[in-house]
Amino acid sequence: MWLFVSGGFVSIVAHRSQPMHVLVRARHADHIGVLFPDLEPTVLATADYRFRVVVHRTVLQRALSHYVANMEYDNFKASIRNEPYHEVCLDVWRTMWAYGRRERGG
pLDDT, tens only, 78-101:
999 999 999 999 999 999 999 999
Residue 105, pLDDT score:
76
pLDDT tens per residue across span 32-47: 999 999 999 999 999 9
| 49: nearest Cα among 25, 17, 24 | 25
Q: Are strands 21-26 and 42-43 parallel, antiparallel or unpaired?
A: unpaired
Q: Residue 69: which pLDDT band, with cuts at 50, 70 and 90?
A: very high
